[in-house]
Amino acid sequence: MIGRVIGRVTRRLTDGWGLLILPLTAFLLAVFVYPLAGMLARSLTDPEPGLGNYAAFFGSPVYTSVLVNTFVTAGLVTLVTLLLGFPYAYLMTLARPVWRGLLMAAVLVPFWTSLLVRTFAWVLLLRDTGVINDLVPGDPVPLLRNLPGVLIGMVQVMLPFAVLPVYATMRTIDRRLLQAAEGLGARPVFAFWRVYAPLTLPGVAAATLLVFVSSLGFYVTPALLGGPKNVMIGELIVQQLSGVLRWGFASALAVILLLVTGALLLVASRLVDLRKLVGGGS
């Protein structure tokens, strides 16, 4: 059995086209698989062999609350991003080509600026003496060192990852379906939510997956805009590495985040066909 599998793989690699995957495979092994294996090994051996790092994490409510806060924050960012990105993407399908290009440029502008620069800009805007509070009468509204500040900064970064997949799906939907539904007596709002919106679910699912998973690893934005109650696991890992030099514990934190994220993706795959979202299915 094993011989047949090895022979099949060998034939595919030697048929000419199969050799093209060898450079990519070597690259992934060198920069992805090898570091992950080293991180797992360090989490089990530093400072001493065993599961001490994992026991220290699950034995402390402080650390587990950071993990919970990470997923709650990522979930809120995903929800707010979709609420903003869905109508924006729909507006892009309705706009004329010139306006559509401007709307697309506005979405892509964040990619042209450093994340650190954008986050420091939000610090200046959200502080008590910032531009936003200068426009609000009365006492300053606390928008920095708390959850609203983290959400504002992260949503601004992740918005393109929600708009682009949803827009890519919306542009393939035949708008004559809405006209047909309205011609059969459906109200425009009813036709939109019962006919058009369900067809956008693949794009919404892809956007949800991209935004949520990407939000789990944020460090710079929560560190600068959040407070002690808004620490995410990325910030905790950096603290363990640079502050107390607990390399093994930091590796355990990364492994736990990876495993929990993988478990969530496994659950999501039971509800949504992830192969279609990444182009692997028909």
Provide mean pLDDT across the span 191-195.
Answer: 88
pLDDT beyond 50 at 282 = no
pLDDT beyond 70 at 271 = no
Does residue 21 fall inside a structural domain?
Answer: no
pLDDT at 141: 85
Provide mean pLDDT across the span 22-51.
Answer: 89
- CB contact set of 207 (below 8 Å; sequence gap of 6+): 81, 82, 85, 161, 162, 163, 164, 165, 166
Provide mean pLDDT across the span 67-91.
Answer: 95
Least confident of 95-99, 138-142, 160-164, 190-194: 138-142
Provide mean pLDDT across the span 2-20.
Answer: 62
- CB contact set of 167 (below 8 Å; sequence gap of 6+): 89, 92, 93, 203
- Which of 111-120, 130-139, 251-260 has the highest average model confidence (pLDDT)? 251-260
pLDDT at 274: 59
Q: What percent of the chain has pLDDT over 70?
A: 89
pLDDT beyond 80 at 37 = yes
**CATH, residue 222:** 1.10.3720.10
Does residue 45 fall inside a structural domain?
Answer: no
pLDDT at 135: 83
Provide mean pLDDT across the span 177-201.
Answer: 86
Give the pLDDT band of residue 162 (cuts 50, 70, 90): very high
Does residue 62 fall inside a structural domain?
Answer: yes
Provide mean pLDDT across the span 90-103.
Answer: 91
Provide mean pLDDT across the span 95-115.
Answer: 87
Does residue 162 fall inside a structural domain?
Answer: yes
Does residue 216 fall inside a structural domain?
Answer: yes
pLDDT at 7: 63
**What's the domain count of the chain?**
1
Give the pLDDT band of residue 102 (cuts 50, 70, 90): very high
pLDDT beyond 80 at 235 = yes
Domain that holds residue 204: 51-277
Provide mean pLDDT across the span 153-170.
Answer: 93
Does residue 22 fall inside a structural domain?
Answer: no
Task: Specify the higher pLDDT residue, 109 or 35.
Answer: 35
- Average pLDDT in the chain: 86
Does residue 215 fall inside a structural domain?
Answer: yes
Does residue 248 fall inside a structural domain?
Answer: yes
Provide mean pLDDT across the span 33-55.
Answer: 90
pLDDT at 280: 44
pLDDT at 281: 46
